[in-house]
Amino acid sequence: MTHKFVAPALVAAVALAALVAQAAVPTALKSVDVTLPESTVALPDGPNVAVVRDNCVGCHSPEMILYQPTLPKPAWEAEVNKMRNVYKAPLDPKDIPAIVEYLTAVKGPK
Ligand code: HEC
């Protein structure tokens, strides 16, 4: 009869010992500093530049946009939709045409 209680007690004791051993390991958290490169490149003026600034440079710098090759309008449209659908850019769909107009004006075929 007594050994019915011994087994669970033993399991509990081993589990407790493991917990105590884990708590004894020092978990020292250290702060680190990371200096990210600063972007000095601004979006050039163009139609609806403010809409683009508001929607497109929160996740990455303007260079990400400006250093692309010139693209035709449908390609920019696809790019903006990719930002929205794949990378989850919080874009209001009604701003998309204005953004695409800017991108095509600034980085479209001349
Ligand atoms: C939610 C964050 C987010 C927002 C907002 C965002 N992007 Fe991006 N963008 C990304 C990520 C992530 C990548 C991929 C980065 C990488 O490949 O290193 C990217 C890459 C790009 C690229 C490089 C080509 C490519 O497809 O990878 C372009 C161009 C671009 N974004 C344009 C835009 C434009 C224009 C907007 C505004 C409509 C915008 N992004 C808004 C996250 C975002």
pLDDT value for 99: 98
**Most ligand 1 atoms within 8 A of CB, residue of 36, 60, 88 to mutate:** 60
CB 101 within 8 A of CB 80: no
**Tokens 């007594």 sit on residue:** 2
pLDDT at 2 over 60: no
Structure-model confidence comparison of residues 61 and 16, the more confident one: 61
CB burial of 61-96 (b: ≥16 within 10 Å; e: otherwise) equals bbeebeeeeebeeebbbebbeebbeeeeeebeeebb
Distance (angstroms) between ligand 1 centre and the Cα of 1 equals 69
Distance CA 93, CA 80 (A): 10
pLDDT value for 27: 84
For the stretch 72-96, pLDDT in tens is 999 999 999 999 999 999 999 999 9
26 confidence band (pLDDT: 50, 70, 90): confident
User: Considering only CA atoms, which of 70, 59, 97, 67 is closest in space to residue 81?
Assistant: 97
Distance CA 66, CA 62 (A): 6
Distance CA 100, CA 48 (A): 9
Ligand 1, atom 6: closest residue by C-alpha? 56
For residue 55, the ligand 1 atom closest to its alpha carbon is: 37
pLDDT value for 69: 96
